[in-house]
Each structure stands twice: as C-alpha cells, then as structure tokens.
Amino acid sequence: MVQLIALYRPPEDKDEFLRRYRLEHLPLAARMPGLMGMAAGPIEGVGLDLPYWFMATLDFPDRETLKASQSSPESRAARKALLAFADGLVDFAVREVEA
C-alpha cells in the first residue's frame, strides 16, 4: 500500500480551516479514483515541537494507482478546493506501507 501524506502548518484561523477542510475539500478528495481510505486530524509532537498541527493520509493500493489518481479530474478538483484556503500551509509526502 502507498500513502499520500499531507502535513499542515497552523493557519491563522483553525476553526475556519477545519470548516472548509470538512465541507469543501473532504467530499472532493473522497471521490479520488483508487482511494482505499483516508484519515485526517490534528497532531502534536511527543517531546518536541512540530511545525505541523494537522495531518491527512490517503491510502492507495500502489504508486501507479496514486499517480493515475493524481491526474484525474476528481483529484484536480480536490487540490483546487484545498489550495483555496491552505495554499502555503501544506507539504506532501508519499510512503510505502508494509504490513
């Protein structure tokens, strides 16, 4: 399995971010082709300060499916909605997940 990870720095208005994330971005992201599951929520460091306060993971069966999904109209719509309120706040990473 492959995960697309989105790490978010704190926005000026966390409540507004969460409202827009839940109402605007999540419904679009949920329609991404090949998506097996996703999880999102606030995070905190354990014994250290993190520059991030929120994280989302999107699960795909493999890199090829993730790559194809990222070029889909559904993914473009989700990205556009996200960047409308989180541009400059998010970093993305990909990782292989082994059992």
Tokens standing for residue 77: 């719509």
How would you class 51 by CB atoms within 10 Å of its CB: exposed for 0-12, middle for 13-18, buried for 19 or more?
exposed
- Identify the pLDDT of residue 14: 96
Residue the block writes with tokens 């520059």: 51
Going along the chain from its start, the domains and CATH numbers come out as: 2-96 (3.30.70.100)
Measured CA to CA, the distance from residue 99 to residue 97 in angstroms comes to 7
Mean pLDDT of the chain: 95
| Band (24; pLDDT cuts 50, 70, 90) | very high
- Identify the pLDDT of residue 72: 96
Measured CA to CA, the distance from residue 11 to residue 54 in angstroms comes to 10
pLDDT > 70: percent of the chain:
99
